[in-house]
């Protein structure tokens, strides 16, 4: 039996919310775990910062693709962006499970700028999960008018998160041990 878009969206809706709630909780719990006697994964921050930069570029190219009505390219780029975000998250959690936190050493106005960027980045990173999943499910369900309505919010927030992830890394990189 072929499901309508509305039926598919309704079927996936509980999973969107389960995943949207579970990911931040699991990440928070894993941040409290320190794996002893494991070689530091200190090489990861520049890699996951690069993944954030690539994600930002992929999002921009996906936006351009859909504006040019290249739906196939847009779909492939968006799946790539989701995949990159998952890889980023795995690396980020692995690093924090094996390494001590790096305190920011800047002073003055830069300290305030850093913490503003960091806090907005973290809060929006939690909120982007349901936005991305709802946007994706609407596209998967072929509910393109609904997809477009939410994508206009998902895109700039996700782009902000990707760009600020790079900025946070660049600002804290001098203080890594």
In the chain, what are the domains? Answer: 5-17+42-175 (1.20.120.80)
Is the pTM above the cut of 0.85? yes
pLDDT at 1 over 60: no
Per the listing, tokens 């998967």 go with 140
* Exposed e or buried b per residue across 65-85, where buried means at least 16 C-beta atoms within 10 angstroms of its C-beta: bbeeeeeeebbebbebbbebb
- pLDDT tens, residue by residue, 115-155: 999 999 999 999 999 999 999 999 999 999 999 999 999 99
Predicted confidence band of residue 2 (pLDDT cuts 50, 70, 90): low
């Amino acid at each position: 039996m072929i499901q309508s878009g509305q039926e598919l969206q309704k079927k996936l809706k509980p999973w969107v919310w389960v995943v949207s709630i579970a990911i931040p909780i699991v990440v928070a719990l894993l941040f409290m775990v320190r794996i002893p006697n494991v070689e530091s994964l200190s090489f990861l921050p520049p890699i996951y910062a690069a993944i954030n930069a690539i994600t930002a570029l992929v999002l921009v190219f996906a936006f351009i693709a859909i504006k040019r009505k290249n739906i196939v390219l847009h779909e492939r780029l968006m799946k790539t962006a989701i995949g990159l975000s998952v890889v980023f998250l795995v690396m980020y959690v692995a690093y924090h499970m094996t390494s001590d936190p790096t305190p920011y050493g800047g002073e003055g106005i830069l300290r305030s700028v850093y913490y503003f960027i960091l806090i907005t980045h973290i809060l929006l990173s939690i909120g982007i999960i349901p936005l991305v999943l709802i946007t994706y499910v609407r596209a998967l369900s072929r509910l393109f008018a609904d997809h477009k309505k939410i994508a206009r919010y998902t895109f700039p927030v996700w782009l902000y998160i990707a760009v600020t992830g790079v900025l946070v890394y660049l600002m804290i990189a001098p203080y890594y041990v």
